[in-house]
Structure 1
């Protein structure tokens, strides 16, 4: 029996879901990419072993950021690029969560609320970092947007990795006094006030036009009356593992194939962790349509940047700021071995043959995607 996959659920259940509820063009596009990933629909390569002569097919990947088959290599590449920015200091993992009562607003205005979340979180942390009573300088931050919980319900939160210190106006380094960065209750109150204020201004500017004007003030008052959640903990492991730590979040998607236990064509068994029960592993059963409905809640607007850098880690100034900070810390300069290795990498020598295990699979032809008017594509000689 084939292993269950999101691709199989898309093929079997997307039509039924579309008959039951509207699907946006963006969601259709993502489903089309996932359904076609590593199949003849995208074309590929015809290979042949130079030892035993065994042929093999290798189809192209869709490379959609929502596809569970296409994120591992992207995550590894992202981590490789970020390691040069790691400083020899304690890092802090800070998570800012939007209240679930805003889920309805996120449904109709996702891009606007996600943008306000990034803006408010950075405004909150940078304000605390610049406070003369705290760090009195400029913070750095890398932030990653997640929109889901373990059971795929909407749960919008921002994972932030913050070096434990700030760059002073004179280029000096102001370290955090301990593994404690900022008080989470104070962060939560500042975050709440800043986000509600930005929501109000956005509504007044007409950027939330799909909301009922009569409910906006009522909702904003309700948001100010409840406690918001901010979580913070230091990453006490070796600094070299910090990027790998955030890399687990940077390209993670709402659902991986490894979490699917079984799919019988109609219903799916899904693994999840119940954090209200000590993070115990559990399973739940959903219809294929319900699984797809929940998955599609987390399709991001096209072109939306879900990983962002701020402060002295911002792309426009990190090349200038990081050497200054390393000099202030008396730390060695960033290693450039990875960049050199990339330029000196050995040429590709084929894939190992799974049949004879001694030969190499060589490309002998490229396969074009099937054309709709002809129903198939002919191999193009390499």
Structure 2
């Protein structure tokens, strides 16, 4: 039985999978990053314990945002920044979901479809928030793109965290008038119309150039308008931190954690998943290794695509100024200042896992193996 990890599956099965399934350059890049993560291929450090004298090797991480082993510190830092911006109001968790009939277009034009999803969700919420009969002001929104379901099939949706109120043009705070923020059915219809209209304009502007059949385009757009789109909305009446932490788990990673891979037998993989249609029960499904790779690669994002975005008074260019004005309007105290640690106070050596009392100090740098002569990793002593 092989190690149950995405890296082990890539090592064992990528060559066979690529022989039958053409990979894009971006997918190849991500697979190679994950395959080499924390291995001699990326180089690292030779360490020595000042207590027991043990000499382990520490290899560099790939830091790819698709890697299930990387970015834990970056994710925690992101959550800390979001919590520092939390206002003393009820927050609302909204989810805008694209119909499965668009999955084919997502396959060939992911950057366009994902971008329109962000644009339309914000246009929908900001229109409702600016309505004088509703909140009559500017909303704030933090949105994060998810492209997967629990079983790793393509399920494109946008998680949004929205403070329950709007900032008026006169600097006053207009609180939400109910616990559901806006009517979900009205949001769904506005979102559907806005997205289909933007798809049609994108088609006319040549942004969907890989879709050649005009009749198919018209047919799909008509089908989309005849379908009820799913918009979910729920107030965070207990703790907003729980939603921030939920989003934070995927702010710097994608789709799959190694904890969900239970067994890997070379040809098959056992995947743990939560069945939301059966009372959130935890279940196990068996997939071939090639099928798991195929499902994982569905969620590789275009290079440079920003999957976490802030809008309205939470936009980066005006966040500090607008949040201060809102706290003044709410008579709320400013957040506690976070004093960053100095490098000297933050690091004095790695704890030794062997003796648990000494510290591991760097004694040499390890060059990446692809630059080594004779297949051996050269040392550069400090």
Structure 1: which 5+ residue stretches go unaligned?
none
- CA apart distance, 1:171: 0.6
1:255-285 superposed Cα distances (whole Å, 9 cap, x missing partner): 1100001001111010011112121111111
TM-score, with structure 2 as normaliser: 0.96
Q: Residue 38 of structure 1: SS of its match in structure 2? A: coil
Greater mean alpha carbon deviation, residues 157-166 or residues 252-261: 252-261
For residues 251 and 220 of structure 2, what CA distance do their matches in structure 1 show? 31
In structure 1, how many angstroms separate the alpha carbons of the residues matched to 2:320 and 2:305? 24
Q: Residue by residue, what CA displacement relative to the aligned partner does 1:162-192 show, whole Å, maximum 9, x if unpaired?
A: 0000000001000012322011110000000
Taking structure 1 as the reference length, what is the TM-score of the superposition?
A: 0.96
Q: Hey, what's the Cα distance between the residues in 1 that align with 2:289 and 2:359? A: 40
Partner of 1:305: 306
Q: Distance in 2 between matches of 1:240 and 1:343?
A: 27
Report the 3-state secondary structure (helix = DSSP H, G, I; strand = E; otherwise coil) of the residue aligned with 1:141: strand
Confirm or deny: 8 A CA contact 1:89 1:239 kept in the other structure. no
1:74 deviates by 1.7
Distance 1:255 1:239 in 2: 24
CA distance in 1, matches of 2:328, 2:221: 46
- Report how far residue 356 of structure 1 moved: 1.5
What CA distance in whole angstroms lies between the structure 1 residues aligned with 2:235 and 2:38? 40
Q: Which residue of 2 aligns with 1:7?
A: 7
Q: What 5-or-longer segments of structure 2 have no aligned partner?
A: none
Distance 2:197 2:277 in 1: 31
Write out per-residue CA displacement over residues 102-128 of structure 1, whole angstroms, 9 at most, x where no aligned residue: 000000000000000000000000000
Aligned to 1:354: 353
Aligned to 2:179, what secondary structure does the other structure show? coil
2:36 corresponds to: 36
Decide whether aligned partners of structure 1 residues 5 and 213 sit closer, same or farther in structure 2, where only a CA change above 3 A counts. Answer: same
1:366 matched to 2:365: yes
2:216 aligned residue: 215
How far is the alpha carbon of 1:158 from its aligned partner? Answer: 0.1
Q: 1:67 to 1:249 in 2, by over 3 A?
A: closer
Q: How does 1:1-382 map to 2 (within 5 A)?
A: 3-211=3-211, 212-239=213-240, 241=242, 243-336=244-337, 338=338, 340-343=339-342, 346-371=345-370, 374=373, 375-382=375-382
Asked whether the 8 Å contact 1:89–1:164 carries over to 2, the reply is yes
Evaluate the alpha carbon distance shift between residue 242 and residue 286 of structure 1 in structure 2; reply closer, same or farther with a 3 A threshold.
closer
Distance in 1 between the 2:246 and 2:67 partners? 21
Deviation at 1:372, TM superposition (A): 5.0
> Are the counterparts in 1 of residues 70 and 253 from structure 2 also a CA contact under 8 Å?
no
Taking only aligned residues, the RMSD between alpha carbons, in angstroms, comes to 1.5
Residues 32 and 182 (structure 1), Cα distance of their counterparts in 2 relative to 1, 3 Å cut? same
How far, CA to CA, are the matches of 2:341 and 2:201 in structure 1? 47
Whole-angstrom CA distance in 2 between matches of 1:94 and 1:79: 18
Is the 1:141–1:163 Cα contact (8 Å) retained in structure 2?
Answer: yes
CA displacement at 1:359 relative to structure 2: 1.0
SS of alignment partner, residue 96 of structure 1: strand
Q: Give the drift of 1:344.
A: 7.7
